[in-house]
Amino acid sequence: MGERSKAPETDRDAAKLSLKELNGWISLAEFRASNLKLSASLKKSAIKRLIWLEGQRETLHGVPAPKRSRFLLRTFCRSPLRVKMRNTRKEQMISA
């Protein structure tokens, strides 16, 4: 069988990593969350992983985690087309 990923999955795994190793995993997660074309669910899980890793770095090594609102806004905002369609339906219901 294949070898399991060495990526940290629990608090205990993250505690075993040095700051340099943790920064490497964070940069990989940030690249995945921001630069790759992923489905919405994979992008959401990549962002959650990135936020978790940065939280671990803050807890274990005292490096403050940056604000990630730019990821959350881009991921969870409604598309303009969807909002336009919703507003059109509301107008149709009001006029009927």
pLDDT tens figures, 44-66: 899 999 999 999 999 999 999 88
- Nearest 5°: phi and psi at 8? -70, 135
Given a contact cutoff of 8 angstroms between Cβ atoms, the answer to whether 41 and 20 are in contact is no
Q: How far apart are CA 21 and CA 14, in angstroms?
A: 9
Ordered alpha helix ranges (H), 16-68: 19-35, 40-61
- Nearest 5°: phi and psi at 79? -75, 150
Band of the pLDDT at 1, cuts 50, 70, 90? low
Structure tokens at 87: 């507003």
Question: Domain spans of the chain?
Answer: 11-95
Band of the pLDDT at 86, cuts 50, 70, 90? low
Of residues 31, 57, 29, 64, the one with CA closest to residue 45:
29
